[in-house]
A and B are shown apart, each in its own frame.
Chain A
Amino acid sequence: MTDAVRTQALVKAFGHTRALDGLDLTVRTGEVHGFLGPNGAGKTTTIRILLGLMRADAGTARLLGGDPWHDATALHRRLAYVPGDVTLWPNLSGGEVIDLLGRLRGGLDTQRRADLLERFDLDPRKKARTYSKGNRQKVALIAALASDVELLLLDEPTSGLDPLMENVFREVIREEQQRVGRTVLLSSHILAEVEALCDRVTIIRSGRTVESGSLAELRHLTRTSIQAELAGPPSGLDDVPGVHNLHIEGSRVRFDVDTNGLDAALRHLTAVGVRSLISQPPTLEELFLRHYQQTQAAEERPSELSR
């Protein structure tokens, strides 16, 4: 089975700024892939290259087995795209825009359209001019989700949606996962969303891939936070490899531990005797923050790339 998306060492410069600087991204067919990065990391530029709207300066990109630039219109029949900042034609109604975009793509599932309109609670009769940002986003989402396509390219699709609608969005994407062969590339900077939905994740920064893998693999790279109340004061914990931020107040102890040091640390605790234990599983957020704080400190220039 071929990958739905595969880019290697993509480079794209706008004037003096390098928006992409050797980006690798692989999305397997049938998976929901999280594409994470802070604003300006190059997510939108990558998606635009995948759509054949922009041409990479170097590197290769393959999409659904074709060349995104040369086979653009043929490939576009098989995908649907939701831009990050949806602007619509002010004098068309939401329903008209949904139908139009669906038809331009090659067809729309009317049953699914009606279903999505209801679930996203969107009034299709309103003129696009009167929609809020969230409602414009819904129009583009419904148009994409009601299309019968193999690949969904969603660029920060929930920006502007309220928490209730974010939930609906997650439900709908989970349903998409059930459909065989439907692939989703979900760009986002909302980690909870990515953790909830994605099978695999690629994290980028300043146009470069910094981590890529399944959530389980990535969690290995993160630390578990432990809070425990012990029978007596612990000893020797700070010698255990992988333990960080250790705080001891009498018999109470608080620390973070790398996944591979977890076992040794817990042995130390049980040796003293555990009265209560709170363990917080590693979150992507922590990994994410650690990556950015580190690299940001290393490089003095903050990332200010647009697009």
Chain B
Amino acid sequence: MNTLTGTGKLVRLILRRDRLLMPLWILFIGVVPISYASTFATLYPTAAARQQFASISAPNATFVALYGRLYGSSLGELVTWRAGFIPVIIGLISLLTVIRHTRVEEESGRRELIGSTVAGRNAGLAAALIATFGADLVLAALLALVMMGQHLPAAGSLSLGLEFAAAGWVFAAIGGVAAQLTDGAGGARGIGISVLGAAYLLRVGGDLSAQSGGAFSWLSWLSPIGWVQRIRPYGGDRWPIVVLVAGMSAVIAAAAFAVSARRDVGAGLLPTRPGPDSAAPYLRTPLALAWRLHRGLLASWTAGLAVVGVVLGGVANGIGNLLQGNRSLEDLFTRMGGRSGIINAYLAGMMSLLALLAAAYAIQATLRLRSEETSGRAEPVLATAVGRLQWASSHLVFSILGSAAVLLGAGLTTGLTYGLASGHPGRELLRVLGAAMVQVPAVWVLAAVAVALVGLLPRFAVASWGALALCLLFGLVGAALQLSHWLLDISPFSHIPKVPGAAVSVTPLLRLLAIAVALGVGGLIGLRNRDIPIT
């Protein structure tokens, strides 16, 4: 088949280009379930305790929505259930990987370069699918070994691994189809993520219906996420479903090849909608341009975090219920302030998680300045009557106000869902909203770090992500690793009052604001005085 000539070489190229990214996500997802296994084993050491936990958790609608249905109470089944959202994440990564190595390549023109060499016309798609299928399979093997290392049954561990891999396969293939449809990678990602979102929602609808004995449980069978969860690792290990999903992936992949054969290089199956032939009257300032460039990113982050907020808020009340009947846990939590204390601690923890995500948005928005510069799009703007500071601030509006808006939205949905579940919507909404907004200064410090780097050390602007990674590391494992206090204090998030629950003191917030302003002003001075572009 000469349309596939050169596939092997392209697979190697993909593996080389992803030599860091691929091992990282495989390793990360492969080891996360360890923490679930050890947590369940520690908190619920006996079969009776697990049975009780299962009987409380299984009917909890929020858990069903987030993780899926809980079918049994063995340790393996609990871990599988708790890891119920991971197939969605693997699906997302696989989808994006395939699009990145197909449509993005084509859009950037690199595909043409490769197409003009000896590579066959389907080689690019085949290589992307093979590399992604393979990565999913490696993840399955790693996970199976890791779970066996936690003394879980071998067959169940293997089928859990294959559940994860199968989710990746289906969505890799769907990514392959999406990449054929539009001529822009953004559109292809949108289609793929919509399919993933629909699959997740169908699974939620079907499972919730099944839980309450409803008539719509078949909805889950329309969803690839629903299929893979019905493999039921450690609780029956239904291998035929693995075969079914693998076959389904092959059919979808074949469809991608069929579509690919019907279109030109660079074109998509769906026509591109033309834009306006002249600009709307508002498009006359750098801020208006920035709005056009940032609005999609801002909208998706706001919507994404709002959805996360719904889930986090919905789970909050359930966290309190989990205490019932477990003596040792109840004692532990009484020391932490009882039922309301544990919910407060949970909410405070989730707010700093949301703040880290908002900071990721703030950094991404700030680095737009840098990508505008390196791509050459800043130059024509700066060659007009637009000053550098005006140009920079039009983008920074989004990293500053945009990140606050993202947090506000997440705080609103968390507060609203928790408030409705707890029966005090008004009071809880205000409390949670306050807890979200108190994070803003720390988010701004990270945005300001990015501004400082862009202005003063532009070639190292990407290091902003390193700053975020440090904060994430300290926040998640700092206390567990017993890092020294001054080290933990580097993270701006460790200075945020632990609300709701703790008292709010203004001093650390003002201090963080001062640091943010100093870093930001320093960066802007640097930007005003340096050469543009520095590439």
Contacts and interface: CB of A to CB of B under 8 A. Distances in A.
Interface of A: 48, 51, 53-55, 72-74, 76-77, 79-81, 83, 85-101, 103-106, 123-127, 129-130, 140, 153
A72 to B, nearest CB: 7
Given A95-B278, A96-B275, A105-B385, A54 B531 contact: yes
B114 to A, nearest CB: 19
A51 B531 CA distance: 11
Given A53-B532, A92-B292, A96-B283, A81 B275 contact: no
Contact of B380 (A129, A130, A140): A140
Q: Name the 7 nearest CB pairs between A and B, nearest first.
A: A93-B275, A99-B279, A104-B384, A125-B274, A81-B383, A103-B284, A96-B279
B15 to A, nearest CB: 28
Contact of B292 (A83, A91, A105, A106): A91
B386 interface: yes
B292 A73 contact: no
B377 A73 contact: no
Given A90-B184, A100-B289, A129-B183, 9 more contacts: A53-B383, A55-B529, A73-B385, A73-B386, A76-B383, A86-B380, A91-B292, A100-B279, A104-B385
Nearest to B280: A96
A93 B385 contact: no
Interface in B182-232: 183-184, 186
A118 to B, nearest CB: 12
Contacts of B264: none
Contacts of B375: 87
B292 A89 contact: yes
Contacts of B279: 95-100, 103
A98 B384 CA distance: 12
B385 A126 contact: no
B272 interface: yes
Nearest to A69: B529
30 contacts: A48-B379, A51-B382, A53-B379, A53-B532, A53-B533, A55-B529, A79-B383, A89-B292, A89-B377, A90-B184, A92-B275, A93-B274, A93-B276, A95-B275, A95-B276, A95-B277, A98-B279, A100-B279, A100-B288, A105-B384, A106-B385, A125-B275, A125-B277, A126-B272, A126-B274, A126-B275, A127-B272, A127-B274, A127-B275, A140-B380
B183 A130 contact: yes
Contacts of B107: 129
Contacts of A97: 279
A133 to B, nearest CB: 9
Nearest to B293: A89
A85 B377 CA distance: 10
A87 to B, nearest CB: 4
A55 B534 CA distance: 12
Interface string B420-449: 000000000000000000000000000000
B332 to A, nearest CB: 52
Interface string B522-535: 00000001011100
A90 B529 CA distance: 29
A104 B381 contact: yes
Contacts of A77: 385
Contacts of B296: 91
A15 B286 CA distance: 32
Contacts of A99: 278-279, 283
B376 interface: yes
A88 B529 CA distance: 25
Contacts of B186: 91
A257 B274 CA distance: 58
Nearest to A77: B385
Contacts of A126: 272, 274-275
B387 interface: yes
B269 to A, nearest CB: 15
A93 B271 CA distance: 15
A303 B530 CA distance: 26
Given A53-B383, A103-B283, A87 B275 contact: no
A53 to B, nearest CB: 5
Contacts of A105: 384-385
Nearest to A155: B379
Contacts of A88: 377
Contacts of B284: 100, 103-104
Given A96-B275, A96-B276, A101 B380 contact: yes
A68 B276 CA distance: 35
A100 B275 contact: no
Contacts of B292: 89, 91-92
A54 B375 CA distance: 17
Interface string B491-535: 000000000000000000000000000000000000001011100
